[in-house]
Amino acid sequence: MIARAIVLAALRRIRHGSLTVVEGSHRHELGSGEPHAMVHVGSPEAWTALLRGSRGLAESYAAGHWDSPDPVAVIRVAARNAGALDRARRAIAPLREPLQRMTPRNTPWRSRQDIAAHYDLGNELFGLMLDSTMMYSSAYFEHADMTLEEASLAKLELVCDKLDLGPDDHVLEIGTGWGGFAVHAALARGCRVTTTTISREQRAYTLARVHAAGVADRVAVLDQDYRDLRGRYDKLASIEMIEAVGHKDFGTFFARCADLLVPGGAMLLQAITIDDRAYAVERSSRTSFIRTHIFPNGCLPSLEVIARNVADRTDMTLVHMEDFGLDYAETLRRWRANVERDPERLAGLGYDQRFRRMWRMYLCYCEAGFTERRIGVAQLLLAKPGWRPPAQRQRGSSRVGSPP
């Protein structure tokens, strides 16, 4: 089979880590050392699918054409050996630029469609996976024996501390999620919060949560695209929403955020980031697994891209940055454990086997990416002219300019 021969020839180039491939009575030992991964090929269709890159890898896994006792290890081996492929993809990336220019922007209508495709999959699914805070973003593990809920609350406190939130503040949140930050900020800091989402399911859940928490007088939940927001706010928080903005609109996003802040205001951005060297390659890859099946039309920014757009389109300055990508790997492990604790519950909710396997691959794929630092997560504090830092100091931070 030609596809098998091509894939095995590529796998024989493994230089970091090792892979055992078992197909019937055939066993292939490839590479050496850790991490070690094992793959069981159950159908020859897996080989053809693997020629389609990450999308084929995930689709064939969801179809049951291959399996592994540890899919995270499989992706980690792939990530450690991606350098040669990255160089080849960077070489041809300029040839794709004309196609990139033809790609439509993420209009408000298109953004709503893309958000619905992921975040409106069902509150029951996310309720099963997440902790009681319903935070669908990286937790912050100050020590290893923290529960997921404790680490999520630690992250929320970190955001509040960096923004120095207090009762006199009116904070805007772009990207409501399921209301975790808005309710926490109102209860813990006594501030007013205006939060916006374009997910129907998330907004309905958050409205109910706000009323149940008794903070309806302090929290307003909007159904507005960030481009349609008006007014001025003391502080602004956006927690892992920028990934849905689209590369053509990063500048628009930051310009809108800056315009919504009062003089002396500050913005806390939590963003999943990609290595600067891989940004152009991933941006031009429209058929990747994540962009096709998980987050339609999403695009991870790099730190350089964020810095450039902030400098070019706003009057804000980056005054603080902290990366905690390994915390995200742990967060994803906890989410996966929650989902896999009761697989029959998902089946009972109507999620079939193919969906469950695709979802498991999504969680494993991202966990491996953070573990191998192909992707990271960072909190960036962006300040308007006249901003003055609060007295707090954060743990393990990488600071730029005046520390908060």
pLDDT at 103 over 70: no
The per-residue pLDDT for 4 is 94
Contact criterion met (CB below 8 Å) for 279 and 306: no
The per-residue pLDDT for 107 is 87
**Least trusted range by pLDDT, from 178-187, 253-262, 305-314, 336-345:** 336-345
pLDDT higher at 284 or 121? 121
Percent of the chain with pLDDT over 90: 80
pLDDT at 118 over 80: yes
CA distance 188 to 173: 16
Reported as a pLDDT band with limits 50, 70 and 90, residue 136 is very high
CA 115, 374, 130, 269 torsion: positive or negative? negative
pLDDT at 404 over 80: no
**Among the options 191, 257, 364, 366, which is catalytic?**
366
For residue 288, give the nearest of 270, 274, 302, 306 by alpha carbon.
Answer: 274
- Phi/psi for 291 (5° steps) reads -75, -25
pLDDT at 92 over 50: no
The per-residue pLDDT for 101 is 54
CA distance 159 to 122: 27
User: Per-residue pLDDT tens for 33-42?
Assistant: 999 999 999 9
User: Per-residue pLDDT tens for 14-58?
Assistant: 999 999 999 999 999 999 999 999 999 999 999 999 999 999 999
The mean of the pLDDT values for the chain is 91
The per-residue pLDDT for 1 is 78
Section 344-369 average pLDDT: 95
User: Per-residue pLDDT tens for 155-193?
Assistant: 999 999 999 999 999 999 999 999 999 999 999 999 999
Sequence-separated (6 or more) residues with CB below 8 Å from residue 318: 307, 310, 380, 381, 382, 400, 401
The per-residue pLDDT for 400 is 40
Reported as a pLDDT band with limits 50, 70 and 90, residue 344 is confident
Reported as a pLDDT band with limits 50, 70 and 90, residue 114 is confident
Percent of the chain with pLDDT over 70: 91
pLDDT at 396 over 60: no
The per-residue DSSP string of 87-130 comes to HHHHHHGGGGHHHHHHSPP--HHHHHHHHHHHHTS-HHHHHHHS
The per-residue pLDDT for 95 is 47
The per-residue pLDDT for 83 is 73
Structural domains of the chain, with CATH? 2-81 (no CATH), 108-383 (3.40.50.150)
- Distance linking the first and last C-alpha atoms of the chain: 60
**Least trusted range by pLDDT, from 42-46, 231-235, 288-292:** 288-292
The per-residue pLDDT for 97 is 53
- Between helix 276-284 and helix 83-92 the angle, nearest 10°, is 60
Reported as a pLDDT band with limits 50, 70 and 90, residue 297 is confident
The per-residue pLDDT for 82 is 84
Structure token pair of residue 53: 């890159």
Active site residue 160: no
Reported as a pLDDT band with limits 50, 70 and 90, residue 398 is very low
pLDDT higher at 108 or 84? 108
